Amino acid sequence: MYSANPNRYNDMTYRRCGQSGVLLPALSLGFWHNFGNVTPEAQSRAIVRAAFDAGITHFDLANNYGPEPGAAESRLGKFLHDDFAPYRDELFISTKAAYDMWEGPYGSWASRKHLMASLDQSLKRLQLDYVDLFYCHRYDPNTPLEETLQTLVDIVRSGKALYVGLSRWPLEASQKGYEYLRNHDVPGLIYQGRFNLFDQSPKNEGILDAATENGVGFISFSPLAQGLLTNRYLDGIPSDSRMAHDPRFLHADMLTPQVLDRIRRLNHLAAQRGESLSAMALSWILHHPGITSVLIGASSPEQLHQNLAAMKSVHFSEEECMIINDILK
């Protein structure tokens, strides 16, 4: 029988999410990889236990996380039943809908039909009566914006989610979304976007500032650029790496001489700071104003603990920022 670490809240940093009453851990656990049917259940369970024992209270999912789609939610649902039932009120669980999930015209995008049906399916897989946070996973240019946003409002009023958020929405649509939700007394809680050393589009496009100005938190996904911002590829492509085995999201063409040179120079700076490249990459995100949390993945408890080192120093000197900007320009 699992018994959580009694000191789990001693070392984790919690940050206020926008202007809400919600505090999220600086590092949250994402379930995109390592929680589907291809990963041994015992391995997934060990990662989730290690995360909660370290004070990570926020578990981030989506209806299509797996593989296969739905597998990550089903697996966490089993863990919630077996291990975490006594701790449900200590957890902040999110899920999403809008990407391809089932056949036919209602299995994707952001119509009322899809969002409502998908959330009901997610709750069954998670074995929960409600989730703490429900996202529209992507902007749907073909569904009236008011339909999508009113559905989010109605989901909160139904009690099936406590909060709602937007993920990967363009700036103009997200601005309209914040206004609509606020005017209907269900203010958006958080925006989820890809933000890392190699992809700073949320900052460059004004999305991060817009979230802050609207009292909305921001959580970064893909903080390590699918593993590029680690020491994994400093000496080529390992045979057991994601790049070698799953080129859908990370393929060899990405590892150009210029990118490899940047990785090596960033790794040198991280060594001067006394930390790993991955820890520095996570710290760099956390040092930005407006960032609530960073979503990390992990293939083992050991890797998760390595990432936790990012919280030791989120301060960057002016000189270090100049070096990073020079490397990336």
Cβ-based neighbours of 242, under 8 Å, separated by 6 or more = 226, 227, 249, 250
Tokens describing residue 289: 């104003």
> Among all chains, which residue has been given the structure tokens 């000496």?
235
Q: Which of 305, 317, 293 is nearest to 15 (CA)?
A: 293
Residues above pLDDT 70, as percent of the chain: 95
pLDDT bin (cut points 50, 70, 90) of residue 312 is confident
Q: What percent of the chain has pLDDT over 90?
A: 88
Domains and CATH numbers, the chain: 14-234+279-315 (3.20.20.100)
In the chain, the amino acid numbered 144 is P
Mean pLDDT, to the nearest integer, of 30-53?
96
Mean pLDDT score, 145-154 = 99
The yes-or-no verdict on residue 45 having pLDDT over 70 is yes
* 3 state SS of 28: strand
Which among 49, 68, 70, 40 is positioned nearest to 2, based on CA atoms?
Answer: 49
Per mean pLDDT, which range of 50-59, 106-115, 244-253 is the poorest? 244-253
Rounded to an integer, what distance in angstroms lies between the CA atom of residue 60 and that of residue 261? 33
**Cβ count within 10 A of residue 55:** 21
Contact 105, 111 (CB under 8 A): no
To which residue do tokens 């909660």 refer?
Answer: 52
- How many residues can be counted in the chain? 329
How many Cα atoms within 13 Å fall on the side-chain side of residue 12?
24
Note the pTM of the prediction, 2 decimals: 0.95
282-307 pLDDT per residue, tens: 999 999 999 999 999 999 999 999 99
> pLDDT band at 237, cuts 50/70/90?
low
